Amino acid sequence: MNKNRLATPLSVAAGFILLCAAPRLTGTQSSAPSMAPVPSVASPVSQATKDPFPADDFAGFDFTDEQKTEIDKIRQDTKSRKEAVVKDQKLTADQKDAMLLGYARLEYSQIYKALTPVQRKEVQQRIRARRAEDPAAQKKQPVPNQNGNTPAK
């Protein structure tokens, strides 16, 4: 019985991943002529909120060449994913905002994992300093621990 409870969500998740990856795997796009693209409009909420993961958390570090290439790869991958979400006509504005935020979080955590332990401690100090300035932000997002994971509550 426990296997059946797990099988349905896993099959749904696998189907979603397959649908998202299918155009990239085949390398083909629909060649049928389409109507003029509809400009995407971000919701007013997304424009008003500031980025929850500011880039200056990673600013000022002396990255190794290996770290630079890994971070560039992470950013390019995230950029292409975000562009695909913005172009997706099937998603509502709220869904797009949620997915874009999720990709931003994923990018931030991947870059964090690429850092050395010393750099991670510095990032944690910057996060704590930023949150000390804004107590409301402290409740929103926990600081990652040394393993790159957020502590469980």
> Assign residue 18 a region: left if phi > 0, alpha if psi is -120 to 50, beta otherwise?
alpha
Can you give the pLDDT at residue 86?
Answer: 94
Domain boundaries, the chain: 64-141
Q: Quick one: pLDDT band at residue 75, thresholds 50, 70, 90?
A: very high
Instruction: Name 84's Cβ contacts closer than 8 Å, sequence gap at least 6.
Output: 20
Per DSSP, the residues of 54-92 read -GGGSTT----HHHHHHHHHHHHHHHHHHHHHHH-TTS-
Asked if 85 and 96 count as a contact pair (C-beta separation under 8 A), the reply is yes
Three-state secondary structure call for residue 150: coil
pLDDT of 47 above 70: no
Tens-place pLDDT, residues 24-41: 555 545 444 444 444 444
Q: How far apart are alpha carbons 126 and 3 in whole angstroms? A: 44
Q: Quick one: pLDDT band at residue 140, thresholds 50, 70, 90?
A: low
Can you give the pLDDT at residue 134?
Answer: 76
| H or E, element range at 2 | helix 2-26
